Structure 1
Amino acid sequence: MAVTTKRQSIVPPPFQAFYDAYHFSPATRVGDTIWVSGQVGVDADVKPAEGMQAQAQIAFECLKLVLEEAGASLADVVELTTFHTDLRGELEAFTTIKDQYFPSRYPSWTAVGVTQLALPGLCVEIRAVAVAGSGEG
């Protein structure tokens, strides 16, 4: 992907309906920096997966997909912010899933406890900032 300082909306095909309905980009890229909107663990029918670990797995897969569409990878993630409806109760289990996607060169990470997320039944939401090419080497 050619580097440009113009703002680019990143909308992978599976996210087009959300873009059209809710008017937000799954990611925005300016230069090599990519801001990824919060990713959640829902199925194709927008139904939350059962439990935090299943939701985290889906959310990280969505994060990976959005980054790839933007010309980056999980290795390029420099910052994670995660939002949890049961932060203290599920943080250890969440970390187990997170470490599958970030086994080394850990990004900066802030975990925030919240009372609710966009849909009933959601346990976790993951947003990220990446710098394309920074994870190489």
Structure 2
Amino acid sequence: MLHNEPVFPSDRHALHEQHGYSAAIRSSDLLFVSGQVGGRADGSPEPDFAKQVQLAFDNLLAVLDAAGCGPEDIVDVTSFHTDPEVQLGTVMEVKKRIFPEAPYPNWTALGVTWLAGFDFEIKVIARCPAR
């Protein structure tokens, strides 16, 4: 087994190739998931913000699934928002569907000025069950 094993979902997105990064890296029982955005299969941003957030979470769940993990395995979340004051309510609605009850993961939300055409990005660290 590789010391750091790349993980990709079955429907690998164009952004991975365009920008040369792995969707996630498994190191022992930890999974470090790269920032997931609400990108369509061709890498373009979903223009509707609510749909973009849901798609980012869907992409995150697909990466977790490819590694044999689920949302319950997430330990730490970092999210990036281009307009947090306006967007946070929408993000929280989707978040509640993914994490409906405690215990919740750690979460840090950051306001940023640029996300390469996207308005929301989420990255996580998960502790995956033994394979």
* TM superposition score normalised by structure 2: 0.89
1:68 aligns with 2:65: yes
* 2:83 counterpart residue number: 86
Tell me, in whole angstroms, the C-alpha distance in 2 between the residues paired with 1:59 and 1:126.
7
Percent identity between matched residues is 37
List per-residue Cα deviations over 1:19-46 (Å, max 9, x = no partner). 3332211000011100000000122232
Tell me, in whole angstroms, the C-alpha distance in 2 between the residues paired with 1:123 and 1:22.
18
List per-residue Cα deviations over 1:47-81 (Å, max 9, x = no partner). 22233211110011110000111111111011110
- Show structure 2 runs of 5+ residues with no match: none
> Counterpart of 2:123 in structure 1: which amino acid?
R
Tell me, what secondary structure is at the counterpart of 1:57? Answer: helix
1:112 aligns with 2:126: no
**Among residues 25, 29, 33, which one is paired with 2:26 in the alignment?**
29
Once the two structures are TM-superposed, the CA of residue 93 in structure 1 deviates from its matched residue by 1.6
* 1:126 counterpart residue number: 122
Change (3 A) 1:109 1:68: same
List per-residue Cα deviations over 1:76-131 (Å, max 9, x = no partner). 0111100000011111221111111111221100000001102x2x1100100100
> Counterpart of 2:81 in structure 1: which amino acid?
H
Tell me, in whole angstroms, the C-alpha distance in 2 between the residues paired with 1:5 and 1:48.
33
Once the two structures are TM-superposed, the CA of residue 5 in structure 1 deviates from its matched residue by 7.7
Question: 8 Å contact 2:74–2:105 — kept in the other structure?
Answer: yes
* TM superposition score normalised by structure 1: 0.85
Question: 8 Å contact 2:32–2:125 — kept in the other structure?
Answer: yes
Tell me, what secondary structure is at the counterpart of 1:44? Answer: coil
